[in-house]
Amino acid sequence: MAGWLVRHPVVLLIGAGGWGWWLALGWPSLTVAAGAVGACGLLWRWRWPVSFERLVWRRIRTGWLRMWVYELRWSRWARASHLVLYDEDFADPVIPRLRSVSSGLAWDDVRVRMLPGQKARDYELAAESLAASRKVARCSVREISPGVISLGFLRRDPLQHPVALPPITPVAGEVMNLERVRIGETEHGQPWRVPVLGSHVFGAGMMGAGKGSLMWGTVRQAAPAIACGRVKLSMIDPKGGMEAEPATALYDRYAREEPKDIVEVLTACVDGMNDRKRALRGVTRKVAPSVEHPLHLLMVDELAAVTKYLGDKKLQVEAERLLGLLLTQGRALAYACFAFAQEPTKDIVPFRGLFPYRVALRLDSPQQTDMVLGDGAWQRGAWADRIGVSTPGVGYVVEEGVREPLRVRAGYTDDAELDRIAGVYAAPR
Ligand SMILES: Nc1ncnc2c1ncn2[C@@H]1O[C@H](COP(=O)(O)OP(=O)(O)OP(=O)(O)O)[C@@H](O)[C@H]1O
């Protein structure tokens, strides 16, 4: 008990102060003082919730969770998750030491000093069982310095409810930043931005997983640049225009289910790319999009219909060849492709590796997640097979240079908003 009190000096101070007060002045005045402090706290919380959270409540919550959840249960969780070492010199197993706990609005960040011989991967393997022990849906693992692991426990999911559509950047289309456009939020409450210029994006998800929200979220943010001709949008919607028909005013080229139309759009893209390559050879190594040299954005709503079910074998081979050319050469020439598929298998997406940015929406299995995000992504925390049917638009991405996957959710562009965008930002004819 004495050791515990020394490790928690604030509890010791409050307890000793309260006891001293009681002895010196009696319990009625202590009750009145405690009530006054509580009332001031409530008033503060009501009038200035942000500063109250930052300066008071966060500290109380952190202290409480550290004492009554993490310190109390960590050794049990570590044992159950096989994170302890059994050393013959010691009678008891050696448990990784908790270094600190800090509790934010949605996440608890628990820092742990790894034991000699342990590595981040051991904790990634244990993440699922740690999440179950803590009774939360998600436990993220990050090595923040040599030997120190940060375990993130998601207490309250900011992506549980649909996220608001981010406002369209209030910047003229001629100068707007096309490298990254904001289409939703991350699990840390930060804006989620997807690359457009200088990348290709692949999104995979089962029926109703919310692939449309990725596509329209991106088109919507690029709309001011479409309106001034700095972005030329080509749309391939092999589902007969079911998805894309309402926004035809935005397109430079458009193909519905006809195989020859689809190949025509792809041919036009690749021809344009080759012309640009010839014109700018020796002039620049990377095209900065302008009205004169626009960014060509190709959207393919269902890749399987192009690469597997096109119907005409010859045209299908040609479509695959053209897509391959676009994906391998387009980035520096300001040709970008966004493609979506329900199934990320190799026969449907033979060139997965050519998409630098990939999004795993709700999928069937851990294997499918790894197919989209790369080997080991599921193990590192991209649990796309656990995304609920009730949360379309939620997915995982792996950002460049970051090992652990990030959970994200796109805002939803409904039909009314799509009609509005198509009306306000029609492409110049
Ligand atoms: N980001 C989102 N936030 C909230 N609801 C969404 C979101 N995305 C989609 N939805 C809802 O889920 C439904 C299905 O979404 P969507 O059509 O985009 O899925 P999909 O993956 O394109 O499916 P399919 O492959 O069948 O076309 C939408 O009609 C909408 O009601």
Whether 64 and 122 map to the same domain: the answer is yes
Provide the pLDDT for residue 184.
96
Provide the pLDDT for residue 417.
94
Whether ligand 1 lies within 6 angstroms of the CB of 166 is answered as no
Residue corresponding to tokens 């109390």:
72
In a domain, 167, yes or no: no
211: annotated binding-site residue? yes
Which amino acid makes up residue 48? W
Whether ligand 1 lies within 6 angstroms of the CB of 272 is answered as no
Containing structural domain, residue 7: 2-154
Residue in 348, 264, 259 with CA at minimum distance from that of residue 312: 259
- Tell me the pairing of strands 295-300 and 251-255: unpaired
Whether ligand 1 lies within 6 angstroms of the CB of 192 is answered as no
Whole-number Å distance between alpha carbons of 179 and 5: 53
Blockwise average pLDDT, block size 10, the chain, 429 residues: 74 85 86 91 89 88 92 93 82 88 91 93 93 92 92 92 90 86 92 94 94 95 93 90 85 88 94 90 80 93 86 88 93 93 86 91 94 90 92 92 88 94 90
| Structural domains counted in the chain | 2
Whether ligand 1 lies within 6 angstroms of the CB of 217 is answered as no
DSSP 428: P
The alpha carbon of 211 and the centre of ligand 1 are apart by a number of angstroms equal to: 6
Whether 317 and 402 map to the same domain: the answer is yes
67: annotated binding-site residue? no
Q: Which atom of ligand 1 is nearest to the CA of 409?
A: 1
Residue nearest to atom 16 of ligand 1 (CA): 210
Whole-number Å distance between alpha carbons of 169 and 223: 10
Radius of gyration of the chain (CA): 27
Whether ligand 1 lies within 6 angstroms of the CB of 212 is answered as yes
The total of other beta-carbon atoms located within 10 Å of residue 75's CB is 16
Residue corresponding to tokens 């996957």:
405
* Phi then psi dihedrals of residue 423, to 5 deg: -75, -45
Q: What is the CATH number of the domain that holds 366?
A: 3.40.50.300
Whether 198 and 326 map to the same domain: the answer is yes
184: annotated binding-site residue? no
Burial 389-423 (b: 16+ CB within 10 A, else e): eebbbbbbbbeeeeebbbbbbbbbbeeeebeebbe
Beta strand residue intervals within 306-370, DSSP E? 335-341, 357-360
Whether 214 and 143 map to the same domain: the answer is no
Residue nearest to atom 23 of ligand 1 (CA): 208
The alpha carbon of 80 and the centre of ligand 1 are apart by a number of angstroms equal to: 39
Provide the pLDDT for residue 271.
94
The total of other beta-carbon atoms located within 10 Å of residue 367's CB is 12
Whether ligand 1 lies within 6 angstroms of the CB of 152 is answered as no
206: annotated binding-site residue? yes
Whether 101 and 195 map to the same domain: the answer is no
Burial 269-295 (b: 16+ CB within 10 A, else e): bbebbeebeeebeeeeeebebeeebbb
388: annotated binding-site residue? no
In a domain, 160, yes or no: no
Provide the pLDDT for residue 256.
85
Q: Which of 154, 188, 217 is the last residue of a domain?
A: 154
In a domain, 170, yes or no: no
In a domain, 162, yes or no: no
In a domain, 290, yes or no: yes
Distances (CA, A) of 419 to 235, 248, 255, 416: 16, 10, 19, 5
In a domain, 173, yes or no: no
Provide the pLDDT for residue 340.
94
Largest interatomic CA distance in the chain = 94
Whole-number Å distance between alpha carbons of 260 and 263: 5
Whether 49 and 198 map to the same domain: the answer is no
Contact, 293 vs 276, CB < 8 A?
yes
Whether 372 and 306 map to the same domain: the answer is yes
Q: Which atom of ligand 1 is nearest to the CA of 394?
A: 1
Contact, 151 vs 112, CB < 8 A?
yes
Whole-number Å distance between alpha carbons of 203 and 371: 12
**DSSP class per residue in 211-235:** HHHHHHHHHHHHHHHHHTTSEEEEE
Whether 132 and 59 map to the same domain: the answer is yes
Whether ligand 1 lies within 6 angstroms of the CB of 418 is answered as no
Whether 188 and 148 map to the same domain: the answer is no
Contact, 141 vs 123, CB < 8 A?
yes
Residue in 248, 253, 249 with CA at minimum distance from that of residue 272: 253
Q: Which atom of ligand 1 is nearest to the CA of 205?
A: 21
Q: Which of 111, 139, 154 is the last residue of a domain?
A: 154
Whether 102 and 212 map to the same domain: the answer is no
Residue in 363, 360, 410 with CA at minimum distance from that of residue 389: 363
Whether 270 and 418 map to the same domain: the answer is yes
Q: Which of 104, 136, 154 is the last residue of a domain?
A: 154
In a domain, 84, yes or no: yes
Provide the pLDDT for residue 240.
75
In a domain, 59, yes or no: yes
Whether 150 and 251 map to the same domain: the answer is no
